[in-house]
Chain A
Amino acid sequence: MSVAEANPIPAAAPRVELKSLDTLWFQVGGTVCNLACTHCFVSCSPTNHTHEFLALAEVRRYLDEATRLGVREYYFTGGEPFLNPEMEAILEATLALGPATVLTNGLLLDPARCARLKKLADATDYSLDLRVSMDGYDAESNDPVRGAGTFERILAGVRNLHEAGLNPVITVTEVCREATTDSGKERFFALLRTMGIERPRLKVLPVFQIGAEAERGGAYESWQRLREGDAPAGDWDHLQCSACRMVTDQGVWVCPILVNEPTAKMGETLADTLGAFPLEHPACWTCHVYGVSCRT
Chain B
Amino acid sequence: MSEKLIAPLTVHRGLATWGEKLVPLAAFRQAAAETGLRLTQREREAALRAYRKATADSTPVEGPYSRIAVFGGVYSNHLALAEVLEEAARRGAEAIYCLGDLGAFGPSPEKVRPLLSHGGVLAIQGNYEESLASGREDCNCGYTDPRDNHFAEISYRYTAQSCSPGFKAWMGTLPRRRRVRVGNRELLLVHGSPRRVNEFLFHSTSPAPFLEVLLDQNRCDGILCTHTGLHWQRRLPSGRDVVNVGVIGRPANDGNTHVWFAMLEAREKDGLGVELLPLRYDHSGLAAEMRREGLPEEFVETVLTGWWTTCLEILPARERAASRF
Q: Which residues of A contact B (CB under 8 A)?
A: 20-22, 31, 36, 38, 42-43, 45-50, 65-73, 97-99, 121, 125-129, 147-148, 165, 167, 182, 199, 210-212, 214-215, 219, 250-252, 260-263, 265-269, 271-275
Q: Which residue of A lies closest to B212 (CB)?
A: A70
**Bound Cα distance from A262 to B18, whole angstroms:** 7
- Contact present for B205 and A99 (CB under 8 Å): yes
19 A-B pairs besides A36-B5, A199-B320 with CB distance below 8 A are A42-B17, A50-B16, A50-B18, A69-B48, A70-B52, A73-B205, A99-B317, A121-B318, A126-B207, A147-B5, A148-B5, A167-B321, A251-B36, A260-B17, A262-B35, A266-B36, A266-B37, A271-B39, A273-B37
From A47, A127, A273, B36 is in contact (CB under 8 Å) with: A273
- Contact present for B8 and A45 (CB under 8 Å): yes
> Residues of A contacting B5 with CB < 8 Å?
36, 147-148
Asked if B56 is an interface residue, CB under 8 A from chain A, the answer is: no
Min CB–CB distance B309 → chain A (angstroms) = 12
0 or 1 for each of B184-223: is its CB under 8 Å from A? (1 = yes): 0000000000010000000111110111111000000000
> Residues of B contacting A71 with CB < 8 Å?
209-210
From A69, A215, A265, B35 is in contact (CB under 8 Å) with: A265
Sample of 25 A–B contacts (CB below 8 Å): A43-B17, A46-B9, A47-B10, A50-B12, A50-B18, A70-B52, A70-B209, A70-B211, A97-B209, A99-B204, A99-B207, A99-B316, A126-B318, A127-B316, A127-B317, A128-B317, A129-B317, A199-B320, A212-B8, A250-B29, A260-B18, A267-B36, A268-B38, A269-B44, A271-B45
Min CB–CB distance A196 → chain B (angstroms) = 15
- Contact present for B20 and A182 (CB under 8 Å): no
**Bound Cα distance from A42 to B28, whole angstroms:** 14
- Contact present for A262 and B316 (CB under 8 Å): no
Q: Given A47-B10, A262-B18, A98 and B36 touching (CB < 8 A)?
A: no
- Contact present for A48 and B317 (CB under 8 Å): no
From A47, A121, A251, A272, B32 is in contact (CB under 8 Å) with: A251
From A43, A125, A167, A275, B12 is in contact (CB under 8 Å) with: A43
- Contact present for A272 and B146 (CB under 8 Å): no
Q: Which residue of A lies closest to B209 (CB)?
A: A67
In chain B, residues 1-57, which have Cβ atoms closer than 8 Å to a Cβ of chain A? Answer: 1, 5, 8-13, 16-20, 25, 28-29, 31-39, 43-45, 47-48, 51-52
Q: Which residue of B lies closest to A99 (CB)?
A: B205
Chain B: interface size category: 35 or more
Q: Given A50-B16, A127-B318, A269-B39, A250 and B209 touching (CB < 8 A)?
A: no
- Chain A contact residues: helix, strand, loop or mixed: loop
**Bound Cα distance from A275 to B44, whole angstroms:** 12
- Contact present for A219 and B20 (CB under 8 Å): yes
- Contact present for A263 and B318 (CB under 8 Å): no
Q: Given A126-B204, A129-B317, A36 and B47 touching (CB < 8 A)?
A: no
**Bound Cα distance from A45 to B12, whole angstroms:** 7
Q: Which residue of B lies closest to A281 (CB)?
A: B19
From A45, A66, A68, B11 is in contact (CB under 8 Å) with: A45
Q: Which among B9, B38, B211 has the greatest number of chain A C-beta atoms within 10 A?
A: B9
- Contact present for B51 and A69 (CB under 8 Å): yes
> Residues of B contacting A125 with CB < 8 Å?
203-204
**Bound Cα distance from A148 to B1, whole angstroms:** 9
- Contact present for B205 and A127 (CB under 8 Å): yes
**Bound Cα distance from A135 to B317, whole angstroms:** 23
Min CB–CB distance B272 → chain A (angstroms) = 21
- Contact present for A48 and B35 (CB under 8 Å): no
**Bound Cα distance from A200 to B40, whole angstroms:** 48
> Residues of B contacting A262 with CB < 8 Å?
18, 28, 31-32, 34-35
